[in-house]
Amino acid sequence: MSSCAEWTMRQIEDELKTTDLSIADARQFSYTMEASDYVKVSSLDANKALALSLDDDSTAYNALQLIGKNKCFTEEASADMYVPNFIANKYPQLSSGAQCQVTYNLWDGKSYASDLVYAGAAYTLTQADYKMIWNGKGAEYVNAETETMLPEYLKQKFPTATEGKVILLKYIWQNITPDTIYADLSYHCSVKDLLFLQETVEHELTGKVGTVKSTIYGRFYLLDGTDSVYVNGITDEDGNKVWKDKGIQTGDMITVKGRLNVDGTEPLFNDAVYVSHTPANKQPHRQPQQSTISNQQSTIKNVAYVLQNGEWVIYTNDQYTAVVTVPVEVYTSLGSENISDPATTVNTYLKSVYPYAAVDDEYFVIYVGSGLAGDVFTYDGTDWVMDDGYVDETMTFVLKAAWEADISTYLKEPFLGHGQGDFTIQNVLLTGALTYVWAYSSSYGMKASAYYNSYNPAESWLISPTIKLKKAKNPALIFDQASKYAADFSQECTVWVTTSFTGDVTTSEWKQLPWLKNEDGSLNVPDGSSWTFQSSGEMPLTDYIDQTIVIGFRYISTETAAATWEIQNLLVHELEMDGD
């Protein structure tokens, strides 16, 4: 071996140390991209030239730069476009036929939260809102009765809101009925009409001080230019006369409370109690006794509403039935009106309120961040992990005349000798002594059977990871299978596809993938006479081009039949088309 050759092999070996590979593996190896690699991808001159050569060069170039900034690939700046130049730069010594399986971050987006991000807002009910809700009666809270009126009030409050608008409504709730009538001369058209009917009930009244009748007992008129109320003998809560001490003057705004009397044609407050007042052009001064609910137990609520078909309803999410709204207490504990670190804060909150959560439990959580936000949190057995919109994706690159992505293979899972892979299992029905149906066998691959001492009715699914057919032209599924003991294999053992997997086979919408037929018209399925594996044939997936799918292998058994079904050598790939 020449010294040059020795140097080349040593360099390759050094480079491959980071992937824990020996020199014997140099022609077929794996690599997981690190944060610095994304910066390198976006800075390579070859990639910049590639981006500028595309039809919409400015958009493509900007998307390329975001790879380095966000440390991920996107549909606009995909790995199959820009990773080949990265590998060529990193491993310049490798020769034709080398294969590199690259794992990288892909921004998968968070479409489930888009309605909150783009159409959401937080709103807190004000004093004026409570007055409107109570139609002039009540205090600054809602109770069980008026809480049911909030959707209708939102319709009046936001008459121009568009379909899908989301509002996180914050309000005070109490389980009491108020005994105070509010009247605001600047708010009601005719305060007389309101007050004359309520002489036995305490009122709280706000208005401008009009003509002063006395400086001893505090006689004056409250008015708004149209209506007026005569107030006499104002004191504080303890009965002390306060009119002079508070320096109330004509033009000030004042709030008093008391019971109404009628004197001639005008409403009259005798022995009114001072609440607060605002000197003209100054800020208000209010006593601690200002609220009729200050001594009552109250709850502050955060409730999300969404406008659907012209009506405001409690927010739900089609993808995630469990919706949680972070309560006000969490913001109070932070000393902030928003959550800047939801991954930590929401995790802490969910752990406190769901101490017995099961692994893989999911909640859609609504909170106030920089704006109204919604994120999915999944319990991993220790913590609630926020879905940040990134997923790990693996793609194989092959060195031919140059490095190129092998996008003809979408999923490859041999099972045999490789374990269960990224496939999952969901049991819908287990009876008798059954504790499982699908299981991995080192001798046969994935194996399903519901026979345990006898036939046991069951339903169990083997579920693939997500498969992206974004750039597919002629995709197909093929695998090897064997089976015995089925009464009717084509009914008991079936293959299904969904484009909207919810994480639960029972709530996902599936479409059955029909078994292929032989030339004689019979189905291409095991006849049950032997354990010989046979190919399923290339089962077309062309109905799912440009979509993301999940494939499910459904096994069912009855009280009279329980087949054994074995699967191995599964492949979802691109078929060569005529003329290719």
Q: Are 562 and 485 in contact (CB under 8 A)?
A: yes
* Mean pLDDT, the chain, whole residue set: 81
303 shares its domain with 352: no
pLDDT for 266: 62
DSSP state of 326: -
β-bridge pairing 228-232 and 266-270: parallel
Q: CA 141 to CA 223: how far, in whole Å?
A: 27
Those residues whose C-beta lies under 8 Å from the C-beta of residue 526, and which sit 6 or more positions away, are 481, 482, 483, 484, 486, 489, 534
Q: CA 199 to CA 183: how far, in whole Å?
A: 13
Q: Which of 388, 419, 441 is the last residue of a domain?
A: 388
Among 574, 295, 195, CA closest to 408: 574
> Each residue of 230-249: b (16+ CB within 10 Å) or e?
bbbbbbeeeeeebbeebebe
247 shares its domain with 205: yes
> Which of 222 and 216 is assigned the larger pLDDT?
222
Q: Are 58 and 376 in contact (CB under 8 A)?
A: no
Q: How confident is the model at residue 293 (pLDDT cuts 50, 70, 90)?
A: very low
> Which of 269 and 309 is assigned the larger pLDDT?
309
In the predicted structure, residue 515 carries a pLDDT above the cut 90: yes
Q: CA 157 to CA 203: how far, in whole Å?
A: 25
Q: Are 69 and 58 in contact (CB under 8 A)?
A: no
Give the percent of the chain with pLDDT over 70: 79
Residue 7 class from Cβ within 10 Å (0-12 exposed, 13-18 middle, 19+ buried)?
exposed
Q: CA 437 to CA 236: how far, in whole Å?
A: 78
- The answer to whether residue 152 is domain-embedded is yes
54 shares its domain with 73: yes
DSSP state of 577: P
Q: How confident is the model at residue 395 (pLDDT cuts 50, 70, 90)?
A: confident
The residues facing 553 across adjacent strands are 462, 495
pLDDT for 95: 86
The CATH number given to whatever domain includes residue 513 is 2.60.120.260
Tens of pLDDT, residue by residue over 37-53, are 999 999 999 999 999 99
Q: CA 250 to CA 213: how far, in whole Å?
A: 11
- The answer to whether residue 397 is domain-embedded is no
Number of structural domains found in the chain? 5
pLDDT for 457: 96
Q: How many residues appear in the chain? A: 580
Helices (H), 452-550: 489-492
pLDDT for 459: 97
Q: CA 430 to CA 423: how far, in whole Å?
A: 20
418 shares its domain with 563: yes
DSSP state of 466: P
Q: CA 35 to CA 396: how far, in whole Å?
A: 20
325 shares its domain with 363: yes
Amino acid occupying residue 166:
V
β-bridge pairing 564-574 and 409-413: antiparallel
533 shares its domain with 475: yes
Report, in angstroms and rounded to the nearest whole number, the Rg of the chain calculated over CA atoms. Answer: 36
- The answer to whether residue 496 is domain-embedded is yes
139 shares its domain with 244: no
Name the residue with tokens 């799918």. Answer: 549
DSSP state of 451: B
246 shares its domain with 347: no
Cite the beta strand spans of 166-227 per DSSP E.
166-173, 180-184, 202-212, 220-223
- The answer to whether residue 60 is domain-embedded is yes
Q: How confident is the model at residue 10 (pLDDT cuts 50, 70, 90)?
A: very low
Instruction: Please give the structure tokens belonging to residue 105.
Output: 């971050």
Instruction: Please give the structure tokens belonging to residue 423.
Output: 């496939």
Q: Which of 357, 388, 419 is the last residue of a domain?
A: 388
pLDDT mean over 302-315: 88
Please give the C-alpha separations between residue 480 and each of 93, 411, 445, in angstroms, as whole numbers.
38, 15, 10
Amino acid occupying residue 264:
G
- Among 114-128, 276-290, 494-508, the minimum mean pLDDT is found in 276-290
- The answer to whether residue 270 is domain-embedded is yes
The CATH number given to whatever domain includes residue 243 is 2.40.50.140
pLDDT mean over 438-455: 94
pLDDT mean over 194-205: 60
In the predicted structure, residue 154 carries a pLDDT above the cut 80: yes
pLDDT for 529: 92
Q: CA 242 to CA 22: how far, in whole Å?
A: 91
Cite the beta strand spans of 69-127 per DSSP E.
99-107, 120-124
In the predicted structure, residue 289 carries a pLDDT above the cut 90: no
The residues facing 517 across adjacent strands are 523
Q: Are 541 and 549 in contact (CB under 8 A)?
A: yes
303 shares its domain with 368: no
In the predicted structure, residue 554 carries a pLDDT above the cut 70: yes
Instruction: Please give the structure tokens belonging to residue 431.
Output: 């009876």
Q: Are 138 and 89 in contact (CB under 8 A)?
A: no
DSSP per-residue letters across 374-414: EEEEEE-SSSEEE--SEEEEEEEEEESSSEEE-TTEEEEE-
- The answer to whether residue 394 is domain-embedded is no
Give the percent of the chain with pLDDT over 90: 36
Q: How confident is the model at residue 188 (pLDDT cuts 50, 70, 90)?
A: very low
362 shares its domain with 450: no
Q: Look up the pTM and report it.
A: 0.47
- The answer to whether residue 403 is domain-embedded is no
Cα dihedral sign, 58-59-63-66 = positive
pLDDT for 4: 36
pLDDT mean over 84-103: 91
3-class DSSP state for residue 232? strand
Q: CA 186 to CA 207: how far, in whole Å?
A: 7
Instruction: Please give the structure tokens belonging to residue 189.
Output: 């058209």
Tens of pLDDT, residue by residue over 398-411, are 999 999 988 788 88
pLDDT for 555: 98
Cα dihedral sign, 493-497-502-508 = negative
444 shares its domain with 457: yes
- The answer to whether residue 213 is domain-embedded is yes
How far from each other are the two terminal CA atoms of the chain, in whole angstroms? 41
Tens of pLDDT, residue by residue over 243-285, are 666 777 777 888 888 777 765 556 777 778 888 878 776 544 3
Residue 335 exposure: Cα atoms within 13 Å on the Cβ side: 0
Q: CA 436 to CA 446: how far, in whole Å?
A: 13
434 shares its domain with 559: yes
- Per the structure, the complete domain to which residue 307 belongs is given by 110-175+294-315
Tens of pLDDT, residue by residue over 419-438, are 998 899 999 999 998 999 99
